[in-house]
Amino acid sequence: MAVYAYQPTGSESEEYHKWYFNTFVWKKTTWMGVNCWKSVADMWNYQEILFELKPSLVIEFGTAHGGSALFFANIMRQIGAPFKVLSVDITHERLEPAARRDPDIVFVESRSTVPAVAEHIQRLKNDFPGKIFAILDSDHTKDNVLAEMKLLRPLLSAGDYLIVEDSTLNGHPVLPGWGPGPYEAIEAYEQEFPDDYTHDVERETKFGWTFAPHGYLIRT
Ligand SMILES: C[S@@+](CC[C@H](N)C(=O)[O-])C[C@H]1O[C@@H](n2cnc3c(N)ncnc32)[C@H](O)[C@@H]1O
């Protein structure tokens, strides 16, 4: 009945997206008491993807307080197969003890785009063979995100999942004028490597909005 009673104007999800971003509610969001700077709609989506994909390796670029790494580890433990979460940040000075002491998370203090990070991922792939779920949430400039995507290129295989977060910046739809960011990095990557990924549009659009528009990618 509600489906018939509800008459959308078409702008609800974009307005909610802008409200969510511009009120900084995402900065007041916690997972098990640890700051987790995400959209809760995306987090639910990630939980569903992880359960379906059952990866052996979660790779996160951009740790901050550690809330998202802890979220991934908690979900993965519930799934029950052996796994590791690798979380890379240029500095772990904000990393909270509740996340730092998690036995299934490897925290690496480094720029995300250096060869040593790729080597670390390769070692973890050897130790934890299987699918990979990777998420880019570090420096949101176009050049950095593009470099991260290229670093992951030889490391991801068909069926692996890549989330490029904060493609909402630069007017997609928040912070117009911010400058080229993740959204533009995805476009540039796809121009260079048009056959690497398909877009998981169904998941991207499932909850009506996401901080990763155009950024739900499945490796072909
Ligand atoms: C948006 S925060 C990460 C939020 C976290 N994933 C969460 O959901 O709570 C971005 C993080 O990226 C880190 N960072 C910035 N540039 C980086 C780089 N080149 N390599 C790795 N980490 C970087 C920052 O120090 C910051 O902690």
Q: 31-62: per-residue pLDDT in tens?
A: 999 999 999 999 999 999 999 999 999 999 99
In this model, does residue 89 exceed pLDDT 70? Answer: yes
Amino acid symbol at 206: K
Q: What strands lie across the sheet with 84-89, from one edge to the other?
A: 105-109, 84-89, 57-61, 132-136, 161-164, 216-219, 197-199
pLDDT of residue 49: 98
In this model, does residue 1 exceed pLDDT 70? Answer: no
How far does Cα 129 stand from its chain's mean position? 21
In this structure, the number of other CB atoms found within 10 A of the CB of residue 191 comes to 8
pLDDT of residue 163: 99
Q: For residue 96, report the distance from its CA to the centre of ligand 1, in Å.
A: 14
pLDDT of residue 209: 97
- Beta carbons of 133 and 159 less than 8 angstroms apart: no
7 — pLDDT class (breaks 50, 70, 90) = confident
Q: For residue 5, report the distance from its CA to the centre of ligand 1, in Å.
A: 43
Does 99 contact ligand 1 (Cβ within 6 A)?
no
Does 135 contact ligand 1 (Cβ within 6 A)?
no
Does 68 contact ligand 1 (Cβ within 6 A)?
yes
In this model, does residue 3 exceed pLDDT 80? Answer: no
Mean pLDDT of the chain: 97
In this model, does residue 4 exceed pLDDT 80? Answer: no
Q: What 3-state DSSP class applies to 61?
A: strand
pLDDT of residue 9: 86
**pLDDT tens digits for range 180-209:** 999 999 999 999 999 999 999 999 999 999
Which of these ranges, 8-12, 45-49, 50-54, 212-216, has the smallest mean pLDDT?
8-12
Domain range 2-219, CATH class? alpha beta
Phi, psi dihedral angles at 87 (to 5 degrees): -125, 120
Strand ranges inside 110-219, DSSP E: 132-136, 161-164, 197-199, 216-219
Q: For residue 23, report the distance from its CA to the centre of ligand 1, in Å.
A: 20
Nearest residue CA, atom 27 of ligand 1? 64
Nearest residue CA, atom 16 of ligand 1? 139
In this model, does residue 6 exceed pLDDT 70? Answer: yes
> And the tokens for 80?
């029950």
10 — pLDDT class (breaks 50, 70, 90) = confident
pLDDT higher at 70 or 6: 70
Does 42 contact ligand 1 (Cβ within 6 A)?
no
Alpha helices, DSSP H, located in 25-163? 40-53, 67-79, 97-100, 115-127, 142-152
**pLDDT tens digits for range 101-153:** 999 999 999 999 999 999 999 999 999 999 999 999 999 999 999 999 999 99
Q: For residue 121, report the distance from its CA to the centre of ligand 1, in Å.
A: 18
Q: For the chain, give every domain's residue range.
A: 2-219
Mean pLDDT of 14-41: 97
- Beta carbons of 163 and 215 less than 8 angstroms apart: yes
Q: For residue 155, report the distance from its CA to the centre of ligand 1, in Å.
A: 21
- Beta carbons of 173 and 17 less than 8 angstroms apart: yes
